[in-house]
Structure 1
């Protein structure tokens, strides 16, 4: 099969956002709302979503559908807050298979959503909604999903440092709902034991689900004064998705190549 140039010559490359996916329906609903906002910002753009696990369509099926629909190229956006195993291994494996089956589809692989200062703006917006503002008597926990990849966790730690610099917080520390430490419970307990008069928790997750529930439950059990909601469909995330799309269009069509086995 070959693409039909008359179908795509005057259309922007479609954007396929690929999220992690969850068995919790709140998660995919939040992702869909984010990209509904993207569609509202760019009504000329074919914006599609897919998932790595639990939710249809899967990433490979969605890319194959794009090729069958006549797309000559596409931008694949890992809708993730850090670059870890999913963006470095899982998705490249999918892209390799699709490229082998449909070499006419030029794939531009965008950067993950994070890190980016706009995400910190979104964190602050959610904290404000929860009644939390930076104050010298308040310590903040930035709670993410966590990863087996130390560099992904280091990205979250750097984001905590950047939030601290925006201040004036008493302190800002990272925490991880899985795969790494400290857990949200440990982080809140340590800050309280260290004399923090008030501890707030920022939920550094895209969507609600198991991890956001764990962050909230652990944090409140240890005496956190407030826990913000996941980032969800804030305008900063939609703007950032389009920013990553534009960046990808300015680079050569490519995606990370896996090491030879």
Structure 2
């Protein structure tokens, strides 16, 4: 059976590793006969290159990344190329990043429902932010898709790495939501896990919009697990 390597970014915040381990466990339970291995691109171990060095035969690498940016376009392909050059016993296929699948929008809506989203709420959609304009553009599209899913046009996007001087970008987004009629602000984190960046956003929102609700990150949501498993199975069947 083709090995599945889940390639996560990595983080200094221990909550990230706990979260992706839960995702890996859920995927492994769903794909009971598959050798599922978790690896990291940075900051945690084992690293992707270490895991690939120990593999044999066909391997599918599934990036646990939400947007197609440097790590999925440059970093991971280079790691895979090097691994294949040094380990001729493997044949590796890289899957797309997770974010383009509409099931993640359902998962985000579920997380908002868990904190009691109301029709009069304004949603602050938060993501990491990238130097890749296409990646940021995809985040804005996800925000629009979430608004359509919720039937609520009051959705604004803020990037956690670009909050602005004195959180000016957060302040502006909250202001736009209130101008649109939002009575309460609810944060929808487009993140796999809580961590330092989500805390930075949450602190800014708490200061600017007291009483705001913070939804949970995607985590090991069943829809996200479905995306990983279905893409793996599609890739395996395509090579048979």
In the alignment, the residues of structure 1 paired with residue 224 and residue 23 of structure 2 have an alpha-carbon distance, to the nearest angstrom, of 7
The match for 2:184 is 198
The match for 1:172 is 155
Whether 2:206 is the aligned partner of 1:208: answer no
Deviation at 1:196, TM superposition (A): 2.6
Q: How many residues are matched?
A: 236
Deviation at 1:168, TM superposition (A): 2.5
**Matched position secondary structure for 2:123:** strand
The match for 1:32 is 21
Aligned 1:76-95 pairs, distance under 5 A: 76-95=61-80
In the alignment, the residues of structure 2 paired with residue 149 and residue 252 of structure 1 have an alpha-carbon distance, to the nearest angstrom, of 31
In structure 2, do the counterparts of structure 1 residues 127 and 226 end up closer, same or farther at CA, with 3 Å as the change threshold? same
Deviation at 1:185, TM superposition (A): 4.5
Question: TM-score if structure 1 supplies the norm length?
Answer: 0.84
Whether 2:102 is the aligned partner of 1:117: answer yes
The match for 2:129 is 146
- Higher gyration radius (CA): 1
The match for 1:73 among 54, 58, 64 is 58
Greater Cα shift, 179-188 or 24-33: 179-188
In structure 2, do the counterparts of structure 1 residues 111 and 127 end up closer, same or farther at CA, with 3 Å as the change threshold? same
Whether 2:141 is the aligned partner of 1:158: answer yes
Deviation at 1:57, TM superposition (A): 0.2
Question: TM-score if structure 2 supplies the norm length?
Answer: 0.91
In the alignment, the residues of structure 2 paired with residue 56 and residue 236 of structure 1 have an alpha-carbon distance, to the nearest angstrom, of 26
Alpha carbons 2:68, 2:135 under 8 Å: kept: yes
Deviation at 1:162, TM superposition (A): 1.0
In the alignment, the residues of structure 2 paired with residue 13 and residue 179 of structure 1 have an alpha-carbon distance, to the nearest angstrom, of 40
In the alignment, the residues of structure 2 paired with residue 106 and residue 43 of structure 1 have an alpha-carbon distance, to the nearest angstrom, of 22
In the alignment, the residues of structure 2 paired with residue 242 and residue 219 of structure 1 have an alpha-carbon distance, to the nearest angstrom, of 35
Deviation at 1:250, TM superposition (A): 4.6
In the alignment, the residues of structure 2 paired with residue 183 and residue 41 of structure 1 have an alpha-carbon distance, to the nearest angstrom, of 41
In the alignment, the residues of structure 2 paired with residue 170 and residue 88 of structure 1 have an alpha-carbon distance, to the nearest angstrom, of 32
Alpha carbons 1:118, 1:237 under 8 Å: kept: yes
Runs of 4+ residues over 3 Å off in structure 1: 179-186, 250-253
Deviation at 1:249, TM superposition (A): 2.5
Greater Cα shift, 241-250 or 28-37: 241-250
Alpha carbons 1:148, 1:179 under 8 Å: kept: no
The match for 1:7 is none
Unaligned runs of 5+ in 1: 1-11, 254-261
Unaligned runs of 5+ in 2: none
Alpha carbons 2:7, 2:62 under 8 Å: kept: yes
After superposition, the CA RMSD in angstroms is 2.0
In structure 2, do the counterparts of structure 1 residues 52 and 132 end up closer, same or farther at CA, with 3 Å as the change threshold? same
